[in-house]
Structure 1
Amino acid sequence: MDRLDIRDLPPSQRHETIHEAFDELDPGEHLTIVNDHDPQPLFYEFRAERDAFDADGYDVERRGPEEFVATLPKK
């Protein structure tokens, strides 16, 4: 899975779901998430906890008041 819309998930399940999907990626792939708020805390979490996270390739775009699309690339 390379695109994950987490807006309907309970907040307590979101980060775990994202981490699991990211871990399933092969190096060089990326995970795109759709969230209802700016995922800046997730960026810091990934940068601190996932050596395979390519922080330089991270990107986020606000597409609406409750739609943020972030790309989390894997080294």
Structure 2
Amino acid sequence: MQPPQARQLILDLLHAPLTRAGQTPHDQLDLIDAGILDSIAFLELLSTLQDRSGTPIDLLQVDPASLTTIASLVALLTTPE
């Protein structure tokens, strides 16, 4: 998945929580610290991203705490050409 497509997928999935929180998305927005997602919603987001992108997410290989920004999620889903 290319970065623009990954970012759009993430923003689509976060639209409702971002709106409820009154937050404008930006790459360094920490979704947990800003109160947009709690830990359960974050894990659900990762699962949905994996399903929709087709990119396997192995939480044993990646620290979930390092994936809490939009930019880090985009990097996770981005595959090099």
- Shorter chain as normaliser: what TM range? 0.3 to 0.5
Tell me the TM-score normalised to structure 2 length: 0.36
Q: When the two structures are superposed, what TM-score results if normalisation uses the length of structure 1?
A: 0.38
| Structure (1/2) with the larger helix percentage | 2
More strand by share: 1
Q: Which of the pair has the greater relative contact order for Cα pairs under 8 Å at 6+ separation?
A: 2
